[in-house]
Structure 1
Amino acid sequence: MILIADSGSTKTDWVLISPRTKKEYRTTGINPYFMSKSEIVQILTRTFDTKQRKQIHSVFFYGAGCASPVRKEVVVNAILESFPEATVEIDTDLKGTARALFGKNPGIACILGTGSNCGFYDGKDITFKYASLGYVLGDEGSGSSMGKQMIRDYLYEDLPTDLRGPFSQFMDNASRDRIMEQVYKSPFPNRFLASVVPFIKKNEMHPFVENLVFENFNAFFTKHVMKYPDIHVKSIGFCGTVSVLFSTLLHKVAYSNRLTISNIIASPMEGLIEYHKNNVE
């Protein structure tokens, strides 16, 4: 059996494949920037029983936070401890997205979910990308970036009057201190910031919200996509919940930059299953 994982900061989708069956699982997001080896092992041993873990011979894990060799090693060691009979391939969520979007063809792979990322895929590897700076310094166009801007405008009392009341209700009338606690002292502040996305989606036709989403997407194009050489002749694909939820605006921003998006998918999993299906014995 082989096990494929697509892991972001919020959730991890798993598919366990044998010659006759395919089982799907979902766990919390696994990101080695926020989790230790023991915490990851606990998730794995709680999700897969002893028999399954001994029968799995190959694990393909694509995850946020796995670009750094040091962080990648945390995930490798956790998986090797949990699946003692398996060979393990750990790679970035960006490479998983690229394989799902383009297979063995080249293109610009983009992720817009809780965080954001972008890189050039040559059909085999991500051969070039600009820095991904995380939710504090970067993550343009992501759910955490949009949420951060919405919360900031709320606390600065810059939200339009007709949005302020509904947003306060959405946040359960949270005080400034409670919000600051979530942002600066909770273990997953990026998830908290991105949790505002449902409110943004519900109010996307409001001019203020529409402009917020447009400007976030435009920043992603400016800081990342538009910097690639010959970008106007390259295939561009997007993956992630945010790119799907706001696909109309995403296409609009691409068009304003004289670009066309070839594909938008919510999850790379189906594409990864197709990519790895020849590994099933």
Structure 2
Amino acid sequence: MWLFADSGSTKTDWRLVNQEGELQVSVETEGLNPYFLTDHEISNTFQEKVCEKVYDVEGVFFYGAGCGKPAKANQVKRALKRTLPSSCSVEVAGDILAAARGSLQGQPGISCILGTGANSCIYNGKMIIDSAPSLGYMLSDWGSGTVMCKDFLGLLFQQKLPQYMIEDFLDTYELTTVQVLDKIYNQPLANRFLASFSPFLLKYAEEAAVTKIITQNFKAFFNYYVLRYPQLHTVKSISVVGSIGYYYQKYLLQVADELGISIHKILKNPMDGLVEFHCSTIHVNH
């Protein structure tokens, strides 16, 4: 059996599949980003919420937000290996490689992430050959759920949105300004907290003030994450992976069209493609 993990900053999807790629077990846990969690926290979540539900695991393929740098990938690898038999292989890579493999398979192209965070890369069909610097929601991540909701909350608590929208938000979430500020500035996982308001943002996406937030974010996203690549107009495929890209694709495609960018594939998550990619590779190697 092979265990696959697609881990964003908000949640992790786990799938146990047989060598034909057939699903045996599916589990969802919180996101396991090594920038926000310790080895022990990652290990405990894996042991308590995943290990008890899976069996006969020969290998683990873990793709995660925050795992792009070797030191962080090794941190996650150590945490997972604590509770696995020594014979079990573990591979850990960044979520942008998951997006590329899951959406492009062995085809070259530009692959983007638009979920809790944002990222992009140039993929040659085998490996990432260039990528945008990943600076997090304080310094980049335009178009992500975290940054769009941060912008939205700023306008909301400045009383710059329609009163009915403000009242609906306060009734829905029962949060005061003090509580929101505490969550953002004093509590861990502020990015996950901010991105959690994305469904509310989507509910009012047609309202002028909210549409402006969305379109401005997507313009900044394309400017930073896509237009940076000289190969943009020669690649045959541009893909977007993630819940924000998927649910907000109407606005994403509109902005892309205005900028002369053609998006060929939008996926809510890369998991089906990842399983297909690895199972075909495993069969070839065997």
Distance in 1, matches of 2:278 and 2:42, equals 24
Contact 2:16 2:54 in 1 (8 A): no
Kindly provide the CA deviation profile for residues 185-235 of structure 1, in whole angstroms up to 9, marking residues without a partner as x.
221100111111111111111111111111111110011101110312322
Kindly provide the CA deviation profile for residues 26-72 of structure 1, in whole angstroms up to 9, marking residues without a partner as x.
1111100011111111111112346946x211111000000122222
Larger CA deviation: 163-172 vs 129-138: 163-172
User: Which sections of structure 2, spanning at least 5 residues, go unmatched?
Assistant: none
Contact 2:63 2:98 in 1 (8 A): yes
User: Which sections of structure 1, spanning at least 5 residues, go unmatched?
Assistant: none
Q: Which residue identity does 1:231 align to in structure 2?
A: L
Cross-structure match for 1:5:
5
Structure 1's consecutive aligned runs of 4 or more residues displaced over 3 angstroms after TM superposition are 48-53
Contact 1:11 1:29 in 2 (8 A): yes
Cross-structure match for 1:271:
273
The 3-state SS of whatever aligns with 2:113 is strand
Distance in 1, matches of 2:72 and 2:93, equals 11
Q: Which residue identity does 1:15 align to in structure 2?
A: R
Cross-structure match for 1:145:
147
Cross-structure match for 1:87:
89
Distance in 1, matches of 2:228 and 2:120, equals 11
Q: From the superposition, tell whether residues 160 and 62 of structure 1 become closer, same or farther in structure 2 (CA, over 3 Å).
A: same
Contact 2:25 2:53 in 1 (8 A): no
Structure 1 segment 149-188 matched on structure 2, within 5 A: 149-172=151-174, 174-188=175-189
Larger CA deviation: 159-168 vs 228-237: 159-168
Q: From the superposition, tell whether residues 18 and 219 of structure 1 become closer, same or farther in structure 2 (CA, over 3 Å).
A: same
Q: Alignment identity in percent?
A: 37
Distance in 1, matches of 2:145 and 2:166, equals 19
Q: Which residue identity does 2:28 align to in structure 1?
A: R
Cross-structure match for 1:58:
59
Distance in 2, matches of 1:208 and 1:51, equals 45
Larger CA deviation: 163-172 vs 71-80: 163-172
Cross-structure match for 1:28:
30
Distance in 2, matches of 1:243 and 1:52, equals 31
Larger CA deviation: 141-150 vs 226-235: 226-235
Kindly provide the CA deviation profile for residues 230-261 of structure 1, in whole angstroms up to 9, marking residues without a partner as x.
31232210011101111111100110110110
1:272 Cα shift? 0.5
Cross-structure match for 1:225:
226
Larger CA deviation: 32-41 vs 19-28: 19-28
Contact 2:15 2:27 in 1 (8 A): yes
Q: Which residue identity does 1:98 align to in structure 2?
A: A
Distance in 2, matches of 1:171 and 1:52, equals 36
Q: From the superposition, tell whether residues 60 and 153 of structure 1 become closer, same or farther in structure 2 (CA, over 3 Å).
A: same
Cross-structure match for 1:68:
69
The 3-state SS of whatever aligns with 1:226 is coil
Contact 2:27 2:50 in 1 (8 A): no
Contact 1:3 1:56 in 2 (8 A): yes
1:138 Cα shift? 1.3
Contact 1:232 1:258 in 2 (8 A): no
Kindly provide the CA deviation profile for residues 158-201 of structure 1, in whole angstroms up to 9, marking residues without a partner as x.
223342222222331x2221111000122110011111111111
Kindly tell me the number of residue pairs found equivalent between the two proteins. Answer: 279
Cross-structure match for 2:108:
106
Distance in 2, matches of 1:48 and 1:169, equals 35
1:124 Cα shift? 0.8
Q: From the superposition, tell whether residues 263 and 163 of structure 1 become closer, same or farther in structure 2 (CA, over 3 Å).
A: same
Q: From the superposition, tell whether residues 79 and 264 of structure 1 become closer, same or farther in structure 2 (CA, over 3 Å).
A: same
Contact 2:25 2:54 in 1 (8 A): no
Distance in 2, matches of 1:122 and 1:185, equals 42
Distance in 2, matches of 1:9 and 1:159, equals 28
Instruction: Kindly indicate whether residue 169 of structure 2 is the aligned counterpart of residue 197 of structure 1.
Output: no
The 3-state SS of whatever aligns with 1:48 is helix
State the Cα RMSD in Å.
1.6
Q: From the superposition, tell whether residues 213 and 51 of structure 1 become closer, same or farther in structure 2 (CA, over 3 Å).
A: closer
Contact 1:11 1:26 in 2 (8 A): yes
Report the TM-score, using the length of structure 1 for normalisation. Answer: 0.94
